[in-house]
Chain A
Amino acid sequence: MPPDREPKLTWKDVTPKEVYYNRRKFLAAMGLAGAAAITGREMWKLASPPTTVEATAKLSFTPGPFNTSEKVTPYDDVTHYNNFYEFGTDKGDPAKNAQNFRTSPWTVSVEGDVKNKRKYSMDEILKLAPLEERIYRHRCVEAWSIVVPWIGFSLNAILKLAEPSPKAKFVAFESYFDRSQMPQAQYAGIPFPYVEGLRLDEAMHPLTMLTVGMYGETLPNQDGAPVRINVPWKYGFKSIKSIVKIKLVGSEPPTTWNMAAPNEYGFYSNVNPHVDHPRWSQAKERRLGDIFRRDTLMFNGYGDQVASMYAGMDLRKNF
């Protein structure tokens, strides 16, 4: 193989978690055995898994469309500051608590009002369409933002394969949930499994991405491994993580944050600097790494591509 060519890795090539973590346990044990001279604190660090290591594998991909030229947020910031309430509500919790999350084997069920209902394995998903790297802005409803090079393809690839029936008007998504793997979820104050939804035209929009990786590698557990979506013109919570079910439906599906606080989080949740959250302003945001806030852009700067979908809609009412 020419040295400049990336090896074609598939999901099968991903080192199984058990092996990966045993290797670390083994190393940690070696460390412990030989660490008689090391202080207790250092020993503890060796024995407990380091928070910076994730079991990710390289992916091959081509540069995709819609890339922003803005500075990409450092990998360590993106992976150590995010919300994934199944693993705890502190921004640092997902990185700490999602490490042993089992993401293999994994299937995604495409069902509902479609001609071709079926379950896809991760291997199949990776082969559905050529992987692209897309550098998107990601704006959290909490008024912080990041720029991330995601890897995946347009969600419409899998939806077109399923062939939605004329009855299908919305797409409902569901995250994986397992209380035993996600004990911190009980304190989250929101119902699980996490569910989200899009209007069919939003789901079919080429910007809407089925994401399997970031920063050249498979998704780290805390960022929604092994497969998630990204809807860059909507607040981050719409970009549901660790998806197990995609269901085409006839009417607006329930969404988790909307159920938890309907006056604060709407079904649409398009990034909109003119419509504030009842408790805080959405006019500005803090890009991770910045001190001061910057102006938030309408539709997170993707208005040219998506604004027409909402023509004639009162975005203040449909927030």
Chain B
Amino acid sequence: MPPPAVRKILTSKLTKALLFVVCLVPFFLLCWRAFTGDLGPNPVETLQHTTGDWTLRFLIFTLSITPLRKIFKLPDLIRFRRMLGLFAFFYVSLHFLTYIGPDQSFSLTAMWKDVFKRPFITVGFLGFVLLIPLALTSTAGWIRRLGGRRWQLLHRAIYITAIAGVIHYYWLVKSDVRKPVEYAFFVGVLLVWRIGDWLLKKRDTIAASARAPRTSPSN
């Protein structure tokens, strides 16, 4: 168990409120830059790239919670996971708005044509759409209604979204793939950790069942 002081900070309402404000900083910075005309020569592209970047970052933050909880034995970190996930959804929604608006002139027909024709749009759109049910079922009520196991299964869709997001970015760039590869690295580490964790658990279960005395009635 972590020291009581750490627990106190992690479980305090203030910490959560503070994190909420911090998560909004990129958004307010963008608003400020838009307001002062500081979005550069191609403001739409700046909005698209910035919201896209923050979507990927928040997906990575969300995916980091479970490993951090287990590695540092800080179970209270779970209190922030939903908020981080919802912020990923918030930034991807803004990202989608900059696409459907300035790029597709709010035309759904144009959007669908684009989604089906361009693999990088298809995969990005898939990642976005998959996050919608997760955002909708993020409440305690929905966890209860679905049951923990089923809810957890559904919310594993975030793995697909994170991978889709990285591919979306990788397919967009012309030749310098450093940034998408950086995101791919983080997403990769977080997913590989989960596979490792799952394998270890499986091994432990097998070991445990092998060690356990056979109590089942032999008939």
Residues of chain A at the chain B interface (Cβ within 8 Å): 74, 76-78, 80-81, 85, 89, 91-92, 142, 144, 187-190, 260-261, 276, 279-281, 286, 288-289, 291-293
Interface string of B117-150 (1 = CB under 8 A from A): 1111000000000000000000000000000000
Q: If A189-B177, A280-B118, A281-B114 touch, does A291 touch B172 (CB 8 Å cutoff)? A: no
Q: Is the CB of B40 within 8 A of A190?
A: no
Residues of A within 8 A of B119 (CB): 279
Which secondary structure characterizes the binding site on chain B?
Answer: helix
* Contact of A144 (CB < 8 Å), options: B42, B117, B178: B42
Chain A hits for B102, CB < 8 A? 286, 291-293
Task: Decide if A279 touches B172 in the complex (CB within 8 Å).
Answer: yes
B42 touches A89 (CB 8 A): no
Min C-beta distance of B65 to chain A, whole Å? 31
- Shortest CB–CB separation between residue B108 and chain A, in angstroms? 16
Report the Cα distance A288→B39, complex, angstroms: 12
Tell which of B42, B103, B177 touches A288, judged by Cβ atoms closer than 8 Å: B42
Cβ contacts A to B, 9 pairs, < 8 Å: A78-B41, A80-B41, A85-B176, A91-B42, A260-B175, A276-B117, A279-B120, A280-B118, A293-B102
Find A286's partner among B44, B118, B174, B176 (CB 8 Å cutoff). B44
Pair B175/A189 contact, Cβ less than 8 Å? yes
Set of chain B residues within 8 Å of A288, measured between Cβ atoms: 41-42
Q: Do the beta carbons of A187 and B176 come within 8 Å of each other?
A: yes
Residue of A nearest to B121 (CB): A280
Contacts of A291 on B, CB cut-off 8 Å? 43-44, 102
Partner of B41, one of A81, A89, A281, A293: A81
**Contact between B42 and A286, CB atoms less than 8 A apart:** yes
Q: How many chain-B residues does the 8 Å CB contact rule pick out?
A: 21
A129 CB → nearest B CB, Å: 32
In the bound complex, CA of A96 to CA of B119 (Å): 33
Residue of B nearest to A264 (CB): B174
Chain A, Cβ-Cβ closest to B175: A189
Query: How far apart are A45's CB and chain B's nearest CB, in angstroms?
Result: 15
Contact status A80-B171, CB under 8 Å: no
Given contacts A77-B41, A80-B40, A81-B41, contact A89 B118 (CB under 8 A): no
Shortest Cβ gap from B172 to chain A (Å) = 7
| Interface mask (B20-35 → A, CB under 8 Å = 1, otherwise 0) | 0000000000000000
Nearest 9 interchain pairs by C-beta: A189-B175, A77-B41, A81-B41, A89-B176, A288-B41, A189-B176, A291-B102, A190-B175, A187-B176
Chain A residue with the shortest CB-CB distance to B106: A292
Contact of A81 among B42, B105, B174, B176 (CB under 8 A): B42
Check B105–A292 contact: CB distance below 8 A: yes
Question: What is the chain B residue whose CB lies nearest that of A77?
Answer: B41
